[in-house]
């Protein structure tokens, strides 16, 4: 009988240990999951900024004048960011149109850099303070046989 009494006491001593382990581990797992989701949303926002820069560079490369290319790149970047649900607190679009001054028959490029500052509350949770600046550059080839205006 003493063996059964020891076994019974040992079984009763372990009661609730699983609940304690879960109470300790569960918050850590939830925090890890939230960090992974936050990182994924930030990476996705960066990819959307990349797409906006590519759209703006492509749009700038098909225009014949630097002024038209500047206007088209700004409009394309703003439209692309808006279409993808990115709300910039502030944004700048820098367009390098030196490639449009190259004589017809020579290969050249147009480069666009998009800077977009996004509130972390928009990316993660409404109560998160701070902001993150997304920066992306893209280059598009100018058609070497397309007529250009000075």
The count of other CB atoms within 10 Å of the CB of residue 27 is 10
Q: What tokens does 53 get?
A: 């820069």
Q: For residue range 102-139, what is the model confidence (pLDDT) as tens digits?
A: 888 888 999 999 999 988 887 777 777 888 899 999 99
pLDDT at 7: 59
E-strand stretches of the chain: 90-96, 108-119, 131-142
User: What's the predicted TM-score (pTM) here?
Assistant: 0.77
Exposure b/e, 79-109, CB count within 10 A at least 16 = b:
ebbeeeebebeebebebbbebbeeeeeeebe
Specify the DSSP class assigned to residue 143. Answer: P
Q: For residue range 22-64, what is the model confidence (pLDDT) as tens digits?
A: 788 998 898 888 888 888 888 898 999 999 999 999 999 998 8
CA distances from 122 to 17, 53, 80 (A): 41, 20, 17
């Amino acid at each position: 009988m003493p063996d059964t009494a020891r076994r019974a006491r040992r079984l009763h001593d372990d009661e609730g240990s699983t609940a304690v382990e879960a109470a300790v581990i569960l918050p850590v797992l939830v925090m890890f999951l939230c960090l992974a989701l936050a990182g994924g949303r930030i990476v996705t926002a960066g990819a959307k900024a990349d797409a906006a820069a590519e759209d703006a560079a492509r749009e700038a490369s098909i225009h014949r004048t630097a002024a038209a290319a500047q206007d088209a790149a700004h409009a394309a970047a703003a439209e692309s960011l808006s279409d993808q649900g990115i709300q910039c607190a502030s944004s700048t679009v820098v367009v390098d149109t030196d490639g449009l001054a190259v004589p017809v028959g020579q290969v050249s490029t147009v480069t666009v850099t998009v800077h977009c500052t996004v509130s972390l509350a928009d990316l993660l949770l409404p109560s998160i303070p701070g902001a993150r600046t997304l920066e992306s550059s893209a280059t598009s080839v100018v058609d070497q046989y397309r007529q250009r205006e000075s």
